[in-house]
Each structure stands twice: as C-alpha cells, then as structure tokens.
Amino acid sequence: MRRKLFKYAFSVGFEKESVLFLQILLMSILLFMMTDPLLENLKTYREVAVLYSDGQQDLIHVIGENAPTENDQIHAFSVSHAVAQKASTHSDQALDALLLHYSKSWMSQINLQTGGIETAVSKDATPVLLSEACRNNYALHEELSIWLAEENITCTGEVVGFFRNRRLPVLMSHGSLPRLNDFYLSVEDYPAMVALESIEGVSCQPEYLITPGNPETFEASTASSDDVSGSSVRSDILGAEIRQTWNTYFMDNASIIFAFALFLLVAVFGFGAYIALVFREKQETMRILHLNGLSYRSIRQLFITAYGFLVGIPLLIGWLLIPLIGKVIFLEGLSLPKLRTVLLALTLMGLLLWTFTSLEFRRFEKNGTAGIVQAKPSKKQEE
Amino acid sequence: MAIVRLENISRIYHEGERDQVQALRDISIELEAGSMCAITGPSGSGKSTLLHILAGLDRPTSGNYYYQNQLMNRLKDREICRLRNTEIAVIMQDYGLLSYDTVLGNVMLPAVIGKRDSRETLAAAKDILNQLGIGELSEKKVSELSGGERQRVAVARSLLMNAKLILADEPTGALDTVSTDKLMDLFESVNQQGITIVIVTHDPQVAKRCPQQFRLVDGRIV
C-alpha cells in the first residue's frame, strides 16, 4: 500500500519539487560563482594609505594575489615628469605616478587619476611597468624593444604577460636596468612610463636606485635631466600604511554586492512563490488522502519518509561520489573543496525542504481538511 | 434502522477566545439507512460544519454522534479514517481529486489506502466509470476534465468501496442546470441501491429532489 501511496507523495515531489531542487542547485552554483570572487577579493583586499606631511592622505585600494599583506613593509615615492604632462590630453591625467615599493620586492604603479593598479610579479627579472595610458599600445612595446636593444640593454623586449586581464604589459630585462631618465626620453611621446627598482639579483645603477623612505633621491634623479622639467609631484610623502578596511571594500565591490543582493531578493521572492505553490499542492494531496481515509499519522509517515528519500538519496550519492567526481570529471573552476561546499549548501537546503514538509504537515494537521476548522481533536475535546 | 443519529450536537470554533463562533447549536437528527436528504440553509448557517462532523473530519464540541450505533466521538482518528475509507464517502465541492493523477487513479485511491487495490477492484472501478459514462476518460488526467466530468469521477470514487453513506458538499455548486439534473439522477439511482445520501446545498431545486430536508439557520435546525 505504502509503495503506491508514495507515488502520490512523490507526484508532488517529482513534478514540482524536483524542479525546485534543480533551481536550488542552479542557484547554489550561481551564488557560489558570485560569492567566490567576492570572498577572494575579501581575502586579498588591502588599502594603502599614502600619508603626506600636511596630514592629508591618499587611499589606494589594492586587490589581488599581489596585494601587500600587513606584514609587508611599504614605502611610497612620488614620481612625476614633464613627458607625462606633455603627452597627456588632460593636464591632470598624468598628475603623478605613485610608486609603491613593497618589501616583497614587487612593485606597483598606481595612476591616481584613474585609480588603476598595476603590478608586476616577476621575481627574476626587472619589471618595467607601463602606466594606465600606455595600455593596449602594442606599437609602444615594439618601440621599447628596439630602444632597449639600441641601448644595449639585455631585454627580451617582449610582452611577457598581462596582469589580471588589465592588459598591462610586463617587459623583462635581464641586464642592467635602463637609466630612468633615458627611458623617459626615449618614449617621450608616451605618457607616464616608470621604470622601477631592480629586484634581487639584478644590478642597478646606483644613481637610479630608488631608496625607500627618501623620495628626494628619486626627485633628484628625475630633475637632473634636461628633458624632465618641473614636477607637480608631492614630494612631501611621509610614508605609507597598509590597511584593511571593510567600508572601502564594500564601496569598491558595490556593483557586485548590489547584483548579489538583487539576485537574492529575486530568488527569495521567486522561491517563496514557487514554494507556496508546491506546498499548496502538497497540502491538497494531504487533504485528499485524509478525505479518503488515510489517517494523520500515516500521512505524516508517508510524507516525511518520501521527502527524506527525495532529498536524502541524491545527496547521499553526491557525498559518496565526491572523490570519484573530483577525480574522473573535470570541473573547471569547481575544485573538490568547492564541490564539497556546493554539496554542503545543497544538503542544508535539502534539510530545509524536509523540515518545511514536516512543518506543512503540522499546519495541515492543525487546519484540517476543511481548511478552516481544527480537524484533529484537542485533548479537551477527546476527553 | 438509523444509520446516523445526532444528539444535541454543538460546534464552537475558537472556544473561549474573542473570535469564538458557534457554528452548530443542539442539532438532533436521525437519518434512516437508505434515505436521501438535503441540508439547506444560507451561507454561514453551519451546513458544511454539520457535513464535516458527519464525515468525521471534525468533531463536535458537545453532543453525541452515532454512526450505526457506534459513538463516533470516542473513536480515534485512525478508526474514523477506516470508516471514511470503507463506509462513509465524501464528495467535496471542489471534487477533492488529485489533479495530477488519472481518472482511474483517483477512483482507485480509497482502494489503495484501504489495501484493496486488487485486479477485481480495478475491474470494478472501470465498471463504475463505464456506468457513469466516463469510461473512455479513465486514463485521462483529472486536470484535463470539465467540471461535470470531475464531479462524476468524484461520485465514481465514492461508489467504489460500496460506501453506506455518501456525503456531498455542494455537489452542484459549479455545475450548470443540465449537469445538475444529470448528477441528481445519478444520486437517485445510487440511493435506489440502498445507499444513504446526504447533500448539503443551497440550491432549492436540488433540495426538492430529496425526500427529506433539513434547513439550518444560524446553526439551528428550523
């Protein structure tokens, strides 16, 4: 008897709740996809505060695997040059290039105007970073290569990579570091190009070595060139601090957080409506079964068991097959721990569905077949 | 012999609360086996409440309800369900059918619940459907049927288990005049087989076709 009655409990389940379950699965994956970069950003999100002697500060947000950690020492230098100003469409576009030197021996150049953040990560080569304005300019890279060759600078001269899809070219140089001013001069038609300090194992010409904590050193070197006239740079940098602030994190990720919230809102309402529909049908099935002589107790057993199976078996299979799925099926971007997370979320949702079924039965038991009366007798009535 | 005997039945909803409603007041009636009666009255007069008590779907606040001389008040839910499965059939205004199941599946439902879903019962179900003129619809889903056809499916289901008492709550409420007449013809023919029928209705034409009538006003029989 039970087997045939399960059909009725499952009829609601398979036709409606399987769709619901599928939706939950898709939702989980979508939510996961949305939250993953958020969490990833959260882990690496840092704010670098550049402090000036007049008490003001610039805040630069650095996200990504190369962001400094709290343990890093950070030094800030200001850089400015006439070339940049000359080539700039807007006089303030190439205001300053801010040079941050992390103790990790990799560097960032930050264009204050656009807020762009560019870093080079190579540890065995001298990174030469191009500013925001130089992006996508492949002709420039070629010219650079030629120039480097003419200057007898050993350099691959090729773009060896782009950082975080920002199309920031990184040039590799294995010889002596190109002299900073020469470098500027040779590319005077292009704005804001900065050569950075060599990293470990690469010799640098001392006069161009930027000394952390002494911005004047760099200022002096740029000012010594005839082609670099004047400087709008704020040379009164006291230093820099690495911070982690939540409000700025949320501000920076506002669009994705807003999308996430909107998605959740739609999901909650959509699910709410769908769940209400499914539950109404479930209640209707319970009512009809009761009307035809199935007791409350039997209905409860039937539905709780049916939904236990409906939710439990696929999840159990999922959990058991995790190692197999992980090994056999290649899921791009869905590693084993992430798969576990998805399954965990699904398990929780399954339990929630099962609990809802239980609650629905209680509601049915209370409201009864008529829908308006207390069908199950109270203890007082039974007495 | 009385199949149903009600003694001073009262039903109060939300007793002791602010929104307390007394749906039935001292109802005492007796229905002979094989009779056909109508319970009429305006909306809110307690007709459906009375029917629910007769079906064992609700319990009276006070008074005694005897079905074939057994006091229903004392029966447990499981025992009342057994009676409703085998002897007391209920036809609801909304037909009470599983819309996602077939006509035959719906008719067989009480047999499945009562563990009597044998081949013989299946044959009997098909017979009943043929007698009611809906044999060709047996494999159709209920959701594909018209109101009149659904009503006949509900009647067919009530006949499968050879119920002694059929309770119908506003069975013609959603039917046109022609369908109403056909349904009443059906009830009369069922009644002629010795089955007691109680019809709750507010339609005077339907009530007129029942030999016995009770009129309820404000929870009292007048």
When CB atoms are compared, the residue of B13, B49, B81 closest to A294 is B81
Tell me the three state secondary structure of residue B196: strand
Q: Which ranges of B132-200 would DSSP assign to H, the alpha helix?
A: 147-160, 177-191
- The string of pLDDT tens digits covering residues A287-302 is 888 999 988 888 888 8
Average model confidence (pLDDT) across chain A: 53
Read out DSSP for A258-286? HHHHHHHHHHHHHHHHHHHHHHHHHHHHH
Residue A281 pLDDT? 79
What is the three-class DSSP state of B168?
Answer: strand
pLDDT at residue A138 greater than cutoff 60? no
Tokens of A348: 């929780």
Residue A2 has what pLDDT? 62
Q: Which amino acid is at B103?
A: V
ipTM: 0.91
Q: Which of B13, B99, B100 would you mutate first to test chain A, the one with the most A CBs within 10 A?
A: B100
- Give yes or no for B81 touching A (CB within 8 A): yes
Q: Tokens 């019809």, residue?
A: B199
> Does residue A60 surpass a pLDDT of 90?
no
Distance from A360 to chain B by nearest Cα, in Å?
A: 18
Token pair 């995790």: residue: A322
Probe site for chain B from A19, A292, A380 (most B CB atoms < 10 A): A292
Q: How far is B111 from chain A (nearest CA, A)?
A: 9
Q: What is the dihedral of CA A364, A369, A372, A375, to 10 degrees?
A: -80
CA distance B108 to chain A (A): 10
Give A-chain residues touching B86 at CB under 8 angstroms.
293
Interface of A with B (CB under 8 A): 1, 4-5, 8, 11-12, 15, 284-285, 287-298, 368-370, 372-377, 381
Taking a C-beta distance cutoff of 8 angstroms, is the pair A25, A346 a contact?
yes
Choose from B83, B95, B112 for mutation: most chain A CBs within 10 A.
Answer: B112
Q: Which residues of A touch B97 (CB under 8 A)?
A: 288
Top-confidence range, A41-55, A100-114, A356-370, B92-106: B92-106
Contact A293 B110 (CB under 8 A): yes
pLDDT one-digit tens code per residue, A253-298: 676 677 777 777 777 777 677 777 777 777 888 888 899 998 888 8
- Residues whose CB is less than 8 angstroms from the CB of residue B61 and which lie 6 or more positions away in sequence, other chains included: A381, B10, B11, B12, B15
Q: Do B77 and A293 touch (CB under 8 A)?
A: no
In B, which residues are within 8 Å of A15 by CB distance?
100
Q: Are strands A46-52 and A57-62 parallel, antiparallel or unpaired?
A: antiparallel
Residue B59 with chain A: CB contacts under 8 Å:
377, 381
Residues B196, B182: Cα–Cα separation, whole Å: 18
Judged by CB atoms closer than 8 Å, whether chains meet at A294 and B97 is answered as no
Its pTM surpasses 0.90: no
Q: How many whole angstroms separate alpha carbon B210 and alpha carbon B221?
A: 17
Measured CA to CA, the distance from residue B222 to residue B217 in angstroms comes to 7
B87 touches chain A (CB under 8 A): no
As a whole number of angstroms, the distance between CA A70 and CA A243 comes to: 7
Do B85 and A292 count as a contact with CB atoms less than 8 A apart?
yes
User: In 3-state terms, chain B is what percent helix, strand and coil (to 5)?
Assistant: 40, 25, 35
CA distance A155 to B102: 79
Of the candidates B92, B100, B112, the beta carbon closest to that of A4 is on B112
Tens digits of pLDDT across chain B (222 residues): 789 999 999 999 888 888 888 899 999 999 999 999 999 998 888 998 999 999 998 889 999 999 999 999 889 888 999 999 999 999 988 888 988 889 999 999 999 998 887 888 899 999 999 988 889 999 999 989 988 899 889 989 998 988 999 999 988 877 788 888 888 998 999 899 999 999 999 888 899 999 999 999 999 988
**Best mutation site among B109, B115, B155, B200 for testing chain A: the one with the most A CBs within 10 Å?**
B109
- Asked if residue A370 lies in contact with residue B52, where contact means CB atoms within 8 angstroms, the answer is yes
| Residue pLDDT, tens place only, A308-339 | 777 777 777 777 776 665 555 545 455 566 66
Distances in Å between the Cα of A114 and the Cα atoms of A80, A97, A129, A250, A333 are 16, 11, 16, 19, 31
C-alpha distances out from residue A156 to A27, A139, A163, A169, B81, Å: 47, 16, 18, 13, 87
Q: What DSSP designation does B18 have? A: T
Q: Per DSSP, which regions of chain A are E strands?
A: 46-52, 57-62, 74-79, 97-102, 107-111, 116-120, 126-130, 155-162, 169-173, 193-195, 237-243
Partner-chain contact B81 A290, CB within 8 Å: yes
3 state SS of A49:
strand
In terms of phi and psi (left: phi > 0; alpha: psi -120 to 50; beta: otherwise), the region of A201 is left
Give the type of residue at A101: H
